[in-house]
Structure 1
Amino acid sequence: MTSRAAVMAIDVGGSGIRGAFQSADARGSADVARTEYELDAAYTHTDLADTITGATTTAITLQPPATTLTAIAISSRGVASLVAQPHALAQQLAHTTGCPVTIVADAVAAHEGCLGGMPGIVSAVGTGCITLGTNTNGSLIRAGGWGPLYDDHGSGFWIGAQALSRAVRFAEEIPTPHAEPHALLHAAEARFGAVDDWPAAIYPHGDGVSRIAAFAATVAELAASGDSAAREIVDEAAEHVAAAIISCARRGAATRVALTGGVARSQVFCDAVERAVLAQAHLLSDPESVQWHRSTGTPLDGALILAHRTAQQTVTTHPGLAWSSSPTRR
């Protein structure tokens, strides 16, 4: 039986681990059939590097018959901060699997999935916020994504934190230049209890950032209903995201633009970002060059595209975002 060349992609996400095989001839086309699978939670370890290693080892056992694996691409949340040496992990996996391996941050795979591998700019707006741009050379251009302590402007956490901050100052009758957040205060009390109870509801659980970020959906709903205080926050968040998009474009990224992530499910937020980008487009050499792209592509789709590039040796690496290694030839 003749063996067919295939590539493998894995996406280690917050809700599970998914993977896919596809013929190497597909070159990342979404129109070519692929074999998808989900890995059981038993393969998830406390250590992210162990999770990635275990998922890869297990996935290979699911390889379709009569195929030869030519490349692997792995997308993972937290890989830059939770894996001590991502490049060393890629080297280890390349050695054990015998084929080239690329490991990327989930934002990179989301970018590729959103744009179908085309150059452009994607803002991933969820709990955090990172904007990545690419040009025709495949180079990665980054804006943001440095975490909640000093960045992630416009993210779900930023929106939730702004809402709570303005609500608590309003409750304490501290004057601010913002619209009075009556509805935000009531919504926050419904979610977290009385203002005095907020610290206990948020801080001791180890997931305070996520808890605050989850409140962003409520803020967006209030904004959509016409609440002026919530709308102010959403508009300010949109201006931050738009500034990151414009930054990537000014540094050479193609101006095909898309939004992804949990916050981007809000139409009022997406509309606000589009308005903000239009308002800031005068900073570009061609203000009319921005083209908005709608896509349902997933990080797994993006990982498959990167797996094909890995096989073709055309994948682009980037410190903190993408690492690639080939097996050592003896």
Structure 2
Amino acid sequence: MSAVHSAGHPRPAAPAAAPLGGAPDARVAAVDIGGSGIRLTVSGTDRTAHGPGRAVTGDGLDTEALLTTVKNALRSLRLPEGTPITAVAVGMSGLLALTANPARLMTDLAHLFGARHVVLASDVLTSHIGALGMRPGAVVAAGTGAVALGTDFAQWWRHRDGWGHLLGDEGSGAWIGAEGLRAALRAHDERPGGSTALLHLAVDRFGPCARWPSRIYPHGDVASRLASFTTDVADAAHRGDAVARSIWQRAAEHLADSVVAALPAAHHEPLVSWCGGLFRAGALLRDPFRAAVRRAAPHARLTEPAGSSLDGAAQLARLAHRAPDQLPRAAPYLRALAL
């Protein structure tokens, strides 16, 4: 018999600090999939496998490509033959919205891992759990894309941004990269607001300006290609380029706007945190982000993230193994399968 749940009321969750796995010979797997790459870990190992990011076609998520990527990442961990994996949790941007048949994908993942329990979750949920555990609050996740979630794991669910690089994801890596390239092209065209520093860095990365459209537009990983310029924009900012610094300042303000919009008006001192690879830029992003949150929501309590979205997926995998009936009922952000 199998059971799938995706909606309902909250259930008490296991504490975030519990060690991975259950019995000594039982292992769980956690997978985090973003626009730029995949990370996979299995309890009992100290390694994290990496692979290419999700593949999206005109029909949605390319599940066959995703399963192949996950299979290759799992193989790269070189687990002993016959290693039992009892539960797997996957967090991914756009996972449930882009997946035409989530139930089939969960069954395929169960077979791939040999697991009895599978959890599919939006990366905004795994980011929230990684940063705050199951505590109420709001978290903004910023990597290639950007999205915020505010929740009390009961009746309050607020999803903000996460609309993709064409319609939203303001303040994300793709947004920063695009703003940097626009500033570079302004310098090339001798229009106001340009940056010669960014122009030189962009030419080093993408070649002559005339080639940029063909290097970026006709590809399925446009957001990742734009986000690849983020490190260059950071380098220019650290060297004192005013345009680059302004881009990072505006990115921080956009991310603060999203997380503040996810906060509940009724809570006296809600928690706010952050997650995602973009915050590896350190003080360049974190300091103006914190300042912008304090200005917009002085009642909020900023707290350093306890972990990453991969850590959040690992917590869900542990819970699915130990007490699957206590998984949060978090539709449309989570689906669970028990075989």
2:147 corresponds to which of 120, 130, 139: 130
Question: Residue 264 of structure 1: CA displacement?
Answer: 0.9
1:233 match: 247
Question: Residue 242 of structure 1: CA displacement?
Answer: 0.4
Give, in whole Å, the separation in 2 of the partners of 1:318 and 1:51: 28
Give, in whole Å, the separation in 1 of the partners of 2:157 and 2:166: 24
Check if 1:171 corresponds to 2:193. no
2:288 match: 272
Give, in whole Å, the separation in 1 of the partners of 2:206 and 2:72: 37
Check if 1:300 corresponds to 2:316. no
Q: CA offsets, 1:236-267, max 9 Å, x none?
A: 11111001110111367873222222221112
Structure 2 CA distance for partners of 1:38 and 1:160, relative to 1, 3 Å: closer
Structure 2 residue identity aligned to 1:301: D
2:83 corresponds to which of 62, 65, 86: 62
Give, in whole Å, the separation in 2 of the partners of 1:188 and 1:49: 31
Give, in whole Å, the separation in 1 of the partners of 2:74 and 2:200: 50
Check if 1:192 corresponds to 2:206. yes
Q: CA offsets, 1:196-235, max 9 Å, x none?
A: 2322333345433212111112112222332211121111
Segments of structure 1 that go 5 or more residues without pairing to the other structure are: 22-33, 282-286
Structure 2 residue identity aligned to 1:151: G
Residues 40 and 74, structure 2, Cα contact 8 Å, conserved in 1: no
Give, in whole Å, the separation in 1 of the partners of 2:68 and 2:123: 15
Give, in whole Å, the separation in 1 of the partners of 2:226 and 2:108: 37
2:125 match: 108
1:314 match: 326
User: Whose helix fraction is larger, Structure 1's or Structure 2's?
Assistant: 1
Question: Residue 312 of structure 1: CA displacement?
Answer: 4.2
Give, in whole Å, the separation in 2 of the partners of 1:246 and 1:260: 15
Check if 1:19 corresponds to 2:41. yes
Residues 32 and 309, structure 2, Cα contact 8 Å, conserved in 1: no
Structure 2 CA distance for partners of 1:187 and 1:92, relative to 1, 3 Å: closer
Give, in whole Å, the separation in 2 of the partners of 1:235 and 1:17: 29
Give, in whole Å, the separation in 2 of the partners of 1:195 and 1:52: 33
Question: Residue 11 of structure 1: CA displacement?
Answer: 0.8
Q: CA offsets, 1:100-154, max 9 Å, x none?
A: 4321133322322223443332222111111122326385431111211211111
Q: TM-score, normalised by structure 2?
A: 0.72
Structure 2 residue identity aligned to 1:223: A
Aligned runs of 1:31-50 on 2, under 5 Å?
34-35=44-45, 47-48=64-65, 50=67
User: How large is the Cα RMSD of the aligned pairs?
Assistant: 3.6
Structure 2 residue identity aligned to 1:144: D
1:159 corresponds to which of 172, 176, 187: 176
Residues 7 and 304, structure 1, Cα contact 8 Å, conserved in 2: no
- Aligned length, in residue pairs: 297
Structure 2 residue identity aligned to 1:325: L
Q: CA offsets, 1:67-122, max 9 Å, x none?
A: xx4x5433345523553222443367679968443211333223222234433322
Segments of structure 2 that go 5 or more residues without pairing to the other structure are: 1-22, 55-61
Q: Secondary structure at the match of 1:154?
A: coil
Q: CA offsets, 1:149-181, max 9 Å, x none?
A: 211111111111112123213332334xx4x42
Check if 1:79 corresponds to 2:89. no
Say which one has the larger Rg: 1
Residues 186 and 195, structure 2, Cα contact 8 Å, conserved in 1: no
2:222 match: 208
Structure 1 residue identity aligned to 2:164: G
Give, in whole Å, the separation in 2 of the partners of 1:205 and 1:89: 25
Q: CA offsets, 1:289-330, max 9 Å, x none?
A: 3222143x2333212311343324232344553212334xxx
Q: Secondary structure at the match of 1:19?
A: strand
Give, in whole Å, the separation in 2 of the partners of 1:82 and 1:272: 33
Q: Percent same amino acid among aligned pairs?
A: 33
Residues 32 and 92, structure 2, Cα contact 8 Å, conserved in 1: yes
